[in-house]
Amino acid sequence: MSGLLALLDDVAAIAKLAAAQLDDIAAHAAKASSKSAGVVIDDAAVTPKYVTGLPAAREIPIVVKIACGSLFNKLIILLPALLVLQAVAPWIITPLLMLGGAYLCFEGAEKVWHAVTHRKEPGPQQAATLDAARLEEQRVAGAIKTDFILSAEIMTIALATIDSTDFWTRAAVLVVVAVVLTVLVYGAVALLVKTDDFGLRLAETGQLEATRTFGRGLVAAMPTVLSVITVIGTAAMLWVGGSIVIHGLHQLHFSWPYNSIKALADLVSGNGAVTGGAWLVTALLDAIVGFVLGTLLIPLVERVIVPIGVIFPEKK
């Protein structure tokens, strides 16, 4: 009997340890996910454009394909690569974060300048010259390629925020972050791309006038909703990208930008007297830095990196 009680005590102790580890993983995952919020918003804002101009029946299958590609990017390529890098060259994580942050700044600034200059964007016109299957294949491939860059930033940010030094805890947290954020992002995208179809169905088949009016309202509102999400995503890119670069410079012992922003934020908010004031000022200044940096990177990308891509064309 005493042996059975001892065994039950051991099982209870193991269960408590497992529960504590799960709580620890959940806490780390929640923290890492929150730090990646800006990139996640942009990911959700960018993806709907890849189903534009394609048959409505193919929208959800396309989103599922992109989501599966996103999971492959995160779990099969990025997760092991980042864990190996942190094990053999942990010093490289901060430069990688800064590189990703600079990319976010470039993307955000390019979107702002595109909106200001109203440059015509090629893309949906392809639908007129390509068959649906070929167009779908190209859209999915392009979305997964874009997702790889955003996923790399999400996973690197997540890894950098994990306090635990245990390898398996870090791996488990990254798995949770990868799965949860992918489901959230592409679940939201699926809802967005089907909302207008749902509204159209209500408008056409609703039994009540109020239902039909609501359906027409959904259809009319969706372009504005997508535009608002795009604006929020762009602002988040500039804020997160600028913040990553500034914190990276601080960790590399170039602390003037970080200290200056912190001092100004404390001054404006009265050293915390105004609730949330310091955070708002810091976020605004980070976004301004991100926009300036991104603007400076635009000619570098267009005149140096893009021509290199032309020299080494992508295989079809």
Angle among Cα 14, 15, 20 to the nearest 5 degrees reads 95
Q: What is the pLDDT of residue 34?
A: 52
Angle among Cα 74, 37, 72 to the nearest 5 degrees reads 10
Give residues with Cβ within 8 angstroms of 285, minimum separation 6. 242, 261, 264, 265
Neighbours of 220 (CB within 10 A): 12
User: Helix, strand or coil for residue 301?
Assistant: helix
Tokens 């990553």 sit on residue? 244
Distance CA 174, CA 83 (A): 10
Q: What is the pLDDT of residue 48?
A: 67
Q: What is the pLDDT of residue 307?
A: 64
Q: What is the pLDDT of residue 147?
A: 79
Q: What is the pLDDT of residue 12?
A: 42
Q: What is the pLDDT of residue 7?
A: 44
* 0.75 surpassed by pTM: no
Q: What is the pLDDT of residue 14?
A: 39
* pLDDT digits (tens), the chain, 316 positions: 554 444 444 444 433 433 344 444 555 445 544 555 556 665 666 666 666 666 777 788 888 898 999 999 999 999 999 999 888 888 888 888 888 888 888 988 988 998 888 655 544 444 445 566 787 788 888 788 877 877 887 888 888 777 777 788 888 888 888 888 888 888 888 888 788 778 888 888 877 788 888 888 888 887 787 778 778 778 888 888 898 899 889 988 898 999 998 888 888 766 655 556 777 888 899 999 999 999 999 998 888 766 665 444 444 4
Q: How far is CA 225 from CA 98, 108, 135, 213, 220, in A?
A: 31, 19, 25, 18, 10
Whether the CA torsion 156, 160, 163, 165 is positive or negative: it is positive
Neighbours of 5 (CB within 10 A): 9
Q: What is the pLDDT of residue 140?
A: 85
Full DSSP string of 46-72: HGGGGGTTS-GGGHHHHHHHHHHHHHI
- Shortest CA distance to 96 belongs to which of 106, 81, 114? 81
Q: What is the pLDDT of residue 295?
A: 94
Q: What is the pLDDT of residue 11?
A: 41
* Long-range pairs of 278-283 with CB within 8 A, sequence gap ≥ 24: 282/243, 283/239, 283/243
Q: What is the pLDDT of residue 13?
A: 45
How many alpha carbons lie under 13 Å from residue 211 in its C-beta half-sphere? Answer: 8
**Structural domain boundaries of the chain?**
29-311
Q: How far is CA 212 from CA 195, 221, 225, 303, in A?
A: 14, 14, 19, 52
Q: What is the pLDDT of residue 316?
A: 41
Q: What is the pLDDT of residue 9?
A: 46
The answer to whether 81 and 208 are in contact (CB under 8 A) is no
